[in-house]
Amino acid sequence: GGINGITGALNDPYTQYYTPSQYQAFQADLNGQYAGIGAELGATPTGSEVVSVFPGTPAAKAGVKPGDVFLKVNGKDVTQTNPNNVAAMVRGPAGSVVTIVFGRGSTTFTAKITREMITIPTATSKMLPGNIGYISLFQFSSNAGSAFMNALNKLTPNHPKGYIIDLRGNPGGYVN
């Protein structure tokens, strides 16, 4: 209560207090690997939603899509729960199952998802029509600089006319 009041008074959406377990999860994210479902979460006015789903992950296999809203995790209502707390509930040992009720538009669906070790891709790249290079940077992890340069170097032989650097859904991270 009190700590949330202090961080809230700063009026900075990126200032948060982490419990020790939340901080460990945050550090695992920044190191690019964790046991979970393979979805990035973001805040909504009423709770948490899926911002992105990493290809080939348990979330992708279960049909989870960006924009899906978390309603329940293992039977607990999470409609007023911030993304860090929902993420902590969704994570667990690899091989264990989490049951999530999602809202999608006016419908709901339940997904029983087996957690796996997830390696977060820091950056991906591809060429778009019109000879435009596209780089998506998923997070500012400890290897973001080198991952970005690798993605850029893959595009350079194509001599792109320009680049799109996509930071949508990037939750932040290291900024040094």
Q: Which domains does the chain have, with CATH numbers?
A: 35-119 (2.30.42.10), 123-166 (no CATH)
Percent of the chain with pLDDT over 70: 84
In this predicted model, what pLDDT tens digit does every residue of 146-175 receive, in sequence order? 889 999 999 999 999 999 999 876 767 765
Angle between helices 20-30 and 83-90 (to 10 degrees): 80
* Lowest mean pLDDT segment, chosen from 25-34, 41-50, 61-70, 129-138: 25-34
In this predicted model, what pLDDT tens digit does every residue of 78-87 receive, in sequence order? 998 988 889 9
Question: How far is residue 116's CA from residue 56's CA, in Å, rounded to a whole number?
Answer: 11
Concatenate the DSSP letters of all residues of 109-162 into one string: EEEEEE-EEEE---EEEEEETTTEEEEEE--B-TTHHHHHHHHHHHHGGG--SE
| Mean pLDDT, the chain, whole residue set | 86
What is the per-residue pLDDT for 79? 93
